[in-house]
Structure 1
Amino acid sequence: MPWFSEIANYLAREQEPLKFTGNDKKKFLKDVRRYLWDEPFLYKQCADNIYRRCVAEEEIPGILFHCHGSNYAGHFAVSKTVSKILQAGFWWPTMFKDAHSFISKCDPCQRQGNISKRIEMPQNFILEVEVFDVWGIDFMGPFPSSYNNNTTPFHLVYGKPCHLLVELEYKSAWAVKQMNFDVKPTAERRMIQLNELDEFRHMAFENSKIHKERTKAYHDRKIIPRTFAANDQVLLFNSRLRLFPGKLKSRWSGPFTIKEVKPYGAVVLWSHDGSEFVVNGQRLKPYLAYTEIPEGEDVSLGEPPRA
């Protein structure tokens, strides 16, 4: 039964709907005033005072395809697609919702666009438990060439030479004699300072954890939440096309099937030849199933089903 069967039966044969009491009755009588039955079609008076034919559910995919996905449609967004449907003289209650769902599953539309900051992966921070527990290195550059100017990149950046510490000699006995001739009180004070240092480390760890949790929450609040699972279909962004873009060539390849989702944003994919490879999850986006109507197939928009 089409969605407008109760309205058509009421206008054609004055047959009341099943739920014709209370607020449902008031709403139905209010809505039915804007419909016109001209056998065998039902028309709806839209906001621009133009009557458009109401279509059944089985006709909607064909209309959406011809107004969005065909060669002459142009793959426009939701508003433009609905505008074409209205210009063609069709109407149904959930046009915008159905158009959005259809466009989100359109294969050519899913292969458009670029990677933005909003589709980054969630932040994973690192906490240092012990001193020198985690070593890191920062890369800087590019630096100006130091050829024939007798200087170093460090001097070009900071304006002073770099001195690396090679060896440090600490004469503990000499320092004890100079600063404090009594070794026992000095050792006791040093033990107290070491115990106090453990407390400092504990507080520093807690403060660092709180700060990084806030930083992660601030970062993740600005990105689009995405979750991947095994056997999901995804599209892979080809970053090489950023440097060498082809004319009218999509930057998204696939679809690929996810084999495994690893921690910290790594995702294992199955390739088309059966092999597997690991990519960054930031370069992926979900691929929705797409049901394509073959080009040249006729979609009947004639006799609607009897109400």
Structure 2
Amino acid sequence: MAISANEQTPWYADIANYLVGNIKPTDLTRHMKRRFLSEAKHYFWDDPYLFQICADQVVRRCVTESEGRDILKHCHSGPTGGHFSGNRTARWVLDCGYFWPTIFKDVNVFVSSCDNCQRIGNISGCNEMPQHFILPCEVFDVWGIDFVGPFPSSRGNKYILVAIDYVSKWVEAQARVTIDSRVVVNFLEKLFTRFGVPRVLISDRGTHFHNDPMARILAKYGVQHRSGVASHPQTQGQVENANRDLKSLLEKNVAQTRKDWSTKLGDALWAFRTAYKTPIGTTPFRLVCGKSCHLPIELEHKALWAMKNVCFKLDAAGKERFYQLNELDEWRAQAFHNSKLYKERAKLYHDQHIKARDFNAGDKVLLFNSRLKLFPGKLKSRWSGPFTVVKTYPYGTIEIEDANGVPLKSMATNSNFTTMARLKKARRFSISKNFESKEGIRQASDVKEALIGRQPIQKKTNLKFFFTLFLADV
């Protein structure tokens, strides 16, 4: 019995018609017809089903479109499925005795669009946002500020308040008993009187940095306050690096009880300021003061400057000082150039290892709950949604809303925005109605190669296939 063209035509219609009624396709070229006859030798008809003798000599039944979807659902997400990977699920389908030409491709798409599987796992490093570095021009124009601690009590102090200049990498730090607005305001007032009023102050969104006293002092001096979010600490990357280096210096110098760290903080700052920094190509001390720092070892072992006599000639001393000031400008210009090149190389390396992702208005996305690690729950998914993208902004900022059209408000930022790094597209499995049966037959040899080599087939975008699948939004 030949298959009627009026029925929903399966991918194997031509082979079935040839085996049952010796009806050959008429729209094939000579080469395609020869290949068709070669492939047909591996099939046999047992009414009402078509079977294939596969490359591993196992007889498998050829299934239709609707059957294939049910089989995939059972083998992947059924009671005995286990939500395994695409390769393992495809092997499971083959072991159950079913076959269609694009089985590996279809299974991979089905697995990637499984809702339960999409809600498992952490944020992948390859899904981070492209890097956008901060490049100020003038020394002391941009400061980053942060608290480090708590540490073991040292003379009553448990925290370190750290500030770093984004151009010179100069660090100021003080040991503190508590973290509150009064401590921060007092620290900033001393910082401004020593180094001048900056243009921008960058911090996290802690309550000790966001309060009325802080707002008043910043408004008084005309300083812009920029803040990052807890889910993206790279915004405060400069001060985070300074925190890491200071903690490393203290760990190597404190006593075994670790209660003398506050007395070692000054030495740690001295070492940090006089250490060579690769991004600027010099030391913070030289970039700020215009000359290298004189160390005690230079007096003990008689460095060149220590053996020189003091020059009391005002003209010669004035010229020397003039040269030093000009040299300082050159050092700062060179440091800016070095910092720019260093950050460009870092951005290039970072962006080469991430995926290019585009979010458009109307896309359905899942949101990663970065707060769940603070309140851990076993067997609990950290992905919520799906949400709808309302609008996208530069530098990876996205506005989303829930299924009821209510904008999602972040508790951390008190705004309707989130970062692209916390989002991923919600996928679903769909079958196109515009599939063509003959193209599926022409890919049967691909599955044959996979059965022989026990490796998944490579995707071929130049061929149409039985399950014409696509990723669409929920």
Residue among 333, 337, 359 paired with 1:228 = 359
Counterparts of 2:28 and 2:52, CA distance in 1: 21
**What is the distance in 1 between the residues matched to 2:155 and 2:384?**
44
**Counterpart among 386, 389, 393 of residue 258 in structure 1:** 389
Q: 1:148 to 1:113 in 2, by over 3 A?
A: closer
2:10 equivalent to 1:2: yes
Partner in structure 1 of residue 121 of structure 2: 113
Three-state SS of the structure 1 residue aligned to 2:116 is helix
Aligned to 1:279: 418
Corresponding letter in the other structure for 1:137: I
SS of residue in 2 equivalent to 1:136:
strand
What's the C-alpha RMSD, in Å, of the aligned pairs?
3.3
1:280–1:158 Cα change, 3 Å: farther
Deviations 1:224-275 (A, max 9, x none): 3322222211111122322333242211111111222233333222135513
Closer/same/farther in 2, CA of residues 186 and 199 from structure 1, 3 Å limit: closer
Counterpart Cα distance in 1 of 2:31 and 2:87: 32
Distance 1:264 1:157, change over 3 A: farther
Pair 1:288 & 2:427 matched: yes
Is residue 159 from structure 1 mapped to residue 264 from structure 2 by the alignment? yes
The TM-score, its normalising length taken from structure 1, stands at 0.75
State the partner residue of 1:126: 134
1:24 matches 2:155: no
Give the equivalent residue in structure 2 for 1:296: none
Contact 1:8 1:37 in 2 (8 A): yes
Look up the match of 2:97.
89
1:295 aligned residue: none
Amino acid at match of 1:180: L
Matched-pair contact (CA < 8 Å) for 2:90–2:103: yes
Deviation at 1:64, TM superposition (A): 1.3
Which residue in the other structure is 2:470 paired with? none
State the alpha-carbon separation in 1 of the partners of residues 358 and 399 from structure 2. 14
Taking a change above 3 Å as real, the CA distance of residues 290 and 52 of structure 1, as seen in their structure-2 partners, is closer
In 1, Cα distance between equivalents of 2:372 and 2:316: 72
Q: CA deviation at 1:110?
A: 0.9
Residues 243-254 of structure 1 mapped to structure 2, 5 A cutoff: 243-254=374-385
- State how 1:136-151 maps to structure 2 within 5 Å: 136-137=144-145, 139-147=147-155
User: Structure 1 residues 72 and 147 mapped into 2: Cα distance closer, same or farther (>3 Å)?
Assistant: same
| Residues in 2 aligned to 1:4 and 1:45: alpha-carbon distance in whole angstroms | 14
Greater displacement, 137-146 / 79-88: 137-146
- C-alpha distance in 2, partners of 1:56/1:186? 91
Change (3 A) 1:41 1:148: closer
For residues 180-191 of structure 1, what are the structure 2 equivalents within 5 Å? 180-181=314-315, 186=319, 190=322
Give the Cα separation in 1 of the matches to 2:342 and 2:156.
46
Q: Check if 1:74 corresponds to 2:82.
A: yes
Q: Deviations over 1:273-300 (max 9, x none)?
A: 5134222322211111357xxxxxxxxx
Hey, what's the Cα distance between the residues in 2 that align with 1:126 and 1:46? Answer: 60
CA contact (8 A) 2:128 2:421 kept: yes
CA shift in 2, pair 1:192/1:47, >3 Å: same
Contact preservation (8 Å) 2:397, 2:417: yes
Change (3 A) 1:225 1:182: closer
Q: Any residues of structure 2 matched to 1:47-62 within 5 Å, and which? A: 47-62=55-70
CA drift at 1:92: 0.2
157 and 54 in structure 1: CA distance in 2 versus 1, 3 angstrom threshold: farther
- Unaligned stretches of 5+ in structure 1? 165-176, 292-307
Report what 1:43 is aligned to. Answer: 51
CA separation of 1:279 and 1:22: change in aligned 2, threshold 3 A? same
Q: CA deviation at 1:131?
A: 2.8
Q: What is the identity, as a one-letter code, of the residue corresponding to 1:275?
A: P
Question: For residues 160 and 113 of structure 1, what CA distance do their matches in structure 2 show?
Answer: 40
Determine helix, strand or coil for the equivalent of 1:256. strand
Asked if structure 2 preserves the Cα contact closer than 8 Å seen for 1:43 and 1:52, the reply is yes
Q: In 1, Cα distance between the equivalents of 2:88 and 2:364?
A: 28
1:115–1:283 Cα contact (<8 Å) kept: yes
Q: Which moved more, 1:110-119 or 1:155-164?
A: 155-164
How far the C-alpha of 1:13 sits from its partner, in A, is 2.2
Q: Kindly indicate whether the alpha-carbon contact (under 8 Å) linking 1:107 and 1:290 is maintained by their aligned counterparts in 2.
A: no
- 154-163 vs 107-116, which moves further: 154-163
Q: Which runs of 5+ in 2 are unaligned?
A: 1-8, 158-173, 177-249, 251-259, 271-310, 409-415, 431-474
**Alpha-carbon shift at residue 215 of structure 1 (Å):** 0.6
Check whether the contact 1:105–1:290 (CA below 8 A) recurs between aligned residues: yes
Pick aligned residue for 2:369 from 219, 226, 238 = 238
Q: Structure 1 pair 13/157, CA: closer, same or farther in 2 (3 Å)? A: farther
After TM superposition, the structure 1 stretch with the greater mean CA deviation from structure 2, 102-111 or 83-92, is 83-92
For 1:54 and 1:109, locate their aligned partners in 2 and report how far apart those are by CA, in whole Å: 28
1:33 Cα deviation from its structure 2 partner = 1.8
- Contact 2:154–2:262 under 8 Å retained in 1: no
Cα offset, 1:75, TM superposition: 1.8
CA distance in 1, matches of 2:66, 2:30: 32
Question: How many pairs are equivalent?
Answer: 275
Offset of residue 70 of structure 1: 2.7
Q: Match of 1:159, SS?
A: helix
Deviation readout 1:196-246 (Å, 9 max, x if unpaired): 766665554443322211111111222333222222111111223223332
Distance in 2 separating the partners of 1:64 and 1:264: 39
